[in-house]
Amino acid sequence: MKKIPVILDTDIGTDIDDTWALIMLLNSPELDVKLITTVSGDTLYRAKIIAKFLEIAERTDIPIGIGIGDPQNSLNFQEPWIMDYNLDEYKGKIYQNGVETIVEIIKNSKDPITIISIGVTTNIGKALEMNPNIAKNAKFVGMHGSIYKGYGGKDGRDPESNVRYDVPSVRKVFSSPFIEKIITPLDTCGLVYLSGERYQKILNSQNPLLKALIENYKIWSELVTWTKVDWKISSSTLFDTVAVYLVYSRDFVEIENIRLKVTDDGFTLPDPHGDKIQVAIKWKNYEGFLDHLLERLNPE
């Protein structure tokens, strides 16, 4: 089986779901991870989390790129876990200009690269500004938007965070001629969490990656400001895992082609004059996805 070359662009370290998605990515045999880039807030802090996880996973062959951010405007809810971590000692390659590295990898790849975007699209938008032609050798898979359902599965759309905090970049991505553009909005990804027996298998696993995940989840649950969770009972919402899944399979979701307009205040509205996007709009087999997610996180 030929692996799918991917770049992960992430704001890991603010919401914990990026950390779950990273482990899913590393455990997906279909994927060949060419680069992981950090975006928004304190991008060095985010790179430390990635580097420490890659060392635990023995995957320091994966390079890390430092993306665009603002360290003065960052929610570092996993900071205690990497407080003493020295990024200079990371055994793999670290690129100080992550955006340039995205452009170079896509430009020089003989096979199309799939960009997995699980944060604001600032890096991707800047890469498209630097070289618009990269879209012709790349696919875009994102965790973005809210079409008919908002946070927590409520009826009615919300201005989803990955869109709302950088509207111009999302517009640039949506309008660019990627080979394929597909998103998981809150309509699907906003429903995903693990509980009961599934979650207990993660909680009690002796797998080093999952032990590190639970350490981070416990720290995050005590510091996060916008939600209350009990790390001993269930996960938080695992939005970003669906984006990773969409790179290699669509079996559990229903896909619709929808033309979308992004408003100035971050809503993603169906509009006949909008950009054509593939949207994972609803679950065909939600329980099946949860079983698959568990298997990916905790392969036995």
Domains and CATH numbers, the chain: 4-297 (3.90.245.10)
Cβ(145)–Cβ(259) below 8 Å: no
- How many H helices and E strands in the chain? 12, 10
Q: What is the pLDDT of residues 18-29, one digit of tens each?
A: 999 999 999 999
Q: Indicate whether 130 pLDDT > 90.
A: yes
Predicted TM-score (pTM) of the model is: 0.98
Phi, psi of 129 (to 5 degrees): -65, -40
Residue 147: pLDDT band with limits 50, 70, 90: very high
DSSP H or E segment with residue 7: strand 4-10
Q: Indicate whether 48 pLDDT > 90.
A: yes
Q: Indicate whether 57 pLDDT > 80.
A: yes
The pLDDT value recorded for residue 71 is 87
Residue 73: exposed, middle, or buried by beta-carbon count in 10 A (0-12, 13-18, 19+)?
exposed
Q: What is the pLDDT of residues 238-255, one digit of tens each?
A: 999 999 999 999 999 999
Q: Indicate whether 1 pLDDT > 90.
A: no
Average pLDDT, the chain: 97
Q: Where are the alpha helices (DSSP H) in the chain?
A: 17-26, 43-56, 79-82, 98-108, 122-130, 161-164, 167-175, 186-189, 196-203, 208-223, 239-248, 286-297
Average pLDDT over residues 94-99: 98
Q: Indicate whether 300 pLDDT > 80.
A: no
Q: What is the pLDDT of residues 189-221, one digit of tens each?
A: 999 999 999 999 999 999 999 999 999 999 999
DSSP-derived 3-state class of residue 264:
coil
Residue burial 196-211, b: 16+ Cβ < 10 Å; e: rest: eebbebbbebebebbe
* DSSP string covering 136-168: GGEEEEE----SSB-GGG-BS----HHHHTTHH
The pLDDT value recorded for residue 72 is 84
The pLDDT value recorded for residue 90 is 94
The pLDDT value recorded for residue 73 is 84
Cβ(119)–Cβ(11) below 8 Å: yes
Counting residues of the chain whose pLDDT is more than 70, the rounded percentage is: 100
